[in-house]
Structure 1
Amino acid sequence: MYSFKDDYSEGAHPRILQALVESNFEQEDGYGRDQFTQKAINFLKERIGRANVDVHLLAGGTQTNLTAISAFLRPHEAAIAASTGHILGHETGAIEATGHKILSIETEDGKLTPSHVKAALDGHPDEHMVKPKLVYISNSTEIGTIYSKSELQQLHQFCRENNLILYMDGARLGSALCSEENDLTLSDLPALVDAFYIGGTKNGALIGEALVICCDSLKVEFRYHIKQKGGLLAKGRLLGIQFLELFRDNLFFDLATHANKMAEMLREEMNNANISFLTQSPSNQLFPILPNALITKLQSKYSFHIWEKVDADHSAIRLVTSWATKEDEVLAFIEEFKKGSKNDQAYL
């Protein structure tokens, strides 16, 4: 059974595995002080186009989010997130466990706008309530949508005017930046957000996220926070080697482009069949709305998440392609989709 459930089912790109093997017996300092991590950080700064950012490598997205957000906020301060935000629904209360409330905002497309943030500020006017301080966004979002440069500029401007921290979860940043609808570059981000991370786990690495802190006031003693949260790996080289390989050349972006290409093949076929989508996602996550009977047929050969019940006879599923998704498997899925649709036109 082939999986379209997520973009981390496979291990790592062969180049990364080879680099880990080749460096295996080299002795290096621990806790990110090794030569590989330092080179990776320098490569990232060059790609970002900013020498004055701080870069920290951590193992996973939840660890990165809870370490960063808890470090950036004072005890009485809260984060604002879309109701679909990863920190709100898929991190087991990790942020709340650090003592910070998350204010949930309903949105149609998973993205926050200045008006959304203003509503949260207006609803928390004084010291009898938590103080909204950090705006959490994801690019791409949990439902596959991406931010345009204009949208991010407007949000950034509002946050500056209201003394708010703008933080971007980049677990799938590669897919967002390589989307055909994207007009942002990696080098745009330091001027538009206070901190963000570049996701490796979902884009070819075994593990690893690269947190980039752009705002000087958020940089202070950050390694203490990483250590306290259990994120300062003794064998930090394992993260450094992977990001060094991903950003030595264009590998990171090539892998994300492949994931998007595989998603586009699925998207095009479903558009041709006049299938509706729960969200208009231009990234590597698709949310087609299919008849339940067709979903059952597809599940006999493929695994994927049933995302949301739409009505008595239809549900939205989530199909995710990855850096390692095989084109032959995508074509085979398309054939099964066509066969199921053709056998019973009532499906569509």
Structure 2
Amino acid sequence: MPTNQQIHLVSRPSGEALASNFKLIVSETPALQDGQVLVRHHFLSLDPYMRGRMNDAKSYTAPQALNEVMGGGTVGEVVESRNPKFAVGDKVVGMGGWQQYSVVDANQLGALRKVDTTLIPLSAYLGAVGMPGVTAWYGLVKIIEPKAGETMVVSAATGAVGSAFAALSKARGCRTVGIAGGPEKCRYAVDELGFDVCIDYKLHHDAASLSKALKDACPDGVDGYFENVGGMVLDAVLLCMNAFGRIAVCGMIAGYDGAPLPLSHPALILTNRLKVQGFIVSEHMEVWPEALKELGTLVATGKLKPRESIAQGLEAAPEAFLGLLKGKNFGKQLVKLA
């Protein structure tokens, strides 16, 4: 069995996460038991939710254990199998974690899924045709419930979730407005992702200024908002929401270092009779087949062409992850392992 490199979480951050919270470990891969397969990971997914799991705090999922492999989504190839459902060479997606190889009990429901790379790149199964894409789909379709002609807004617009949101929203006949950081990202949002407008939040130092720009971009107000950021951005959008608007709350990256995120105008939730609903996409596995079918078609037909930021090698994962939390990535953040 091959020698395996892993990255462990060895300490919990106090405030901002640091590279020193992680440690590169070399370990021996255990021999396979009946029902198990050995997967060589090609790509590791880095996602904002991982920051919350680094804390030892109550959340929707258990904290990441110390001195164990950091959890995360992976795609790769079966290189050895003692399970009749999986053959050597099968391309698979799973939660292999921050390591080069994983030993998986392939009989465990949902532990490993075979994927077709004929028309869809393997890496896309960690982004547009994976958890981020389904996250966008669920928030839009099941919570916001868009109608043709309405105005949809998404923050972190050029990330893995935001880019999928744009394609799904435009397919439903909605005016689609993004909020992103920097002129290059905003140009990409409009020119390649199909947003009608993209607002550069870095040009605005407070919610009032950002809200004015948003009102100019959304002359008919905002009917649906997909929240990834919180803080000033949420304050700005709340000022533009129409009566009976819907807000799907997916992430609050502005507060992931533990700082409180007070709302400036919470009364608008009442006066505008807004629906505000948080969700965790892994709690809605029943929608994944429908969502993945639509997302896969969008990617295969070229209607969704998300960008990827790719760090090279497992040892690059911590710095790439810290960069993701600061918005340094452009599109889906991946680590190439093979």
TM-score, normalized by the shorter chain, greater than 0.5: no
> Comparing both chains, which one has the higher relative contact order based on Cα–Cα distances under 8 Å and sequence gaps of 6 or more?
1
Q: TM-score, normalised by structure 1?
A: 0.34
Q: TM-score, normalised by structure 2?
A: 0.35
- The structure whose residues are more often helix, as a share, is 1
- The structure whose residues are more often strand, as a share, is 2
